[in-house]
Amino acid sequence: MKYIKEIMILAICLMVLGFSASVLFGIWYMYQEGVSEYRGLQEFAEEESEADADDSGVVKKKTAVDFDSLKEINGDIVAWIKCKELGINYPVVQGTDNSYYLTHTFSGEEHISGCIFMDCVNKTDFTDDNTILYGHNMKDGSMFGSFSHKRYAADHPGG
């Protein structure tokens, strides 16, 4: 009788472990799907070096974005946001409401990572006094995950 209880407890622990592992794998896989899609889109935003340096002697780099090709994928594109220091390099879309792109990627697939998007009431030419961009704070550092307080504190000690 004692061995049956131990075997049942072990079996329950193994089932919980298996379930937990499958959930963690599912989360990891979803993150990878999102990262893969946005890496593929980065080919539409090529960095080009300019020959001229500014007054401080620094050679400027420009990012040329192929908006025509991106509009064929998603007509809601309004901009491209890039900040090399924070690892941000994404298309920006604007929907008719502020909820669709919370759960849909640039290609329109339903996905937990969503897409970086502009508030639906902002002007697409950025002439508003304030333009609001939304994006998820992803745990893997993608999207706006690089704005994490912990990461900032680690990169800027004492500040």
Instruction: Judge contact between 44 and 65, C-beta under 8 A.
Output: yes
Residue 65 identity (one-letter amino acid): V
Q: Per-residue pLDDT averaged across 82-103, rounded?
A: 87
| Domain boundaries 2-155, corresponding CATH code | 2.40.260.10
Question: How is the chain split into domains, by residue range?
Answer: 2-155
Residue 146: its pLDDT value, please? 66
User: Model confidence over 99-145: pLDDT tens digits?
Assistant: 999 889 888 888 888 889 999 999 999 999 999 998 877 766 667 76
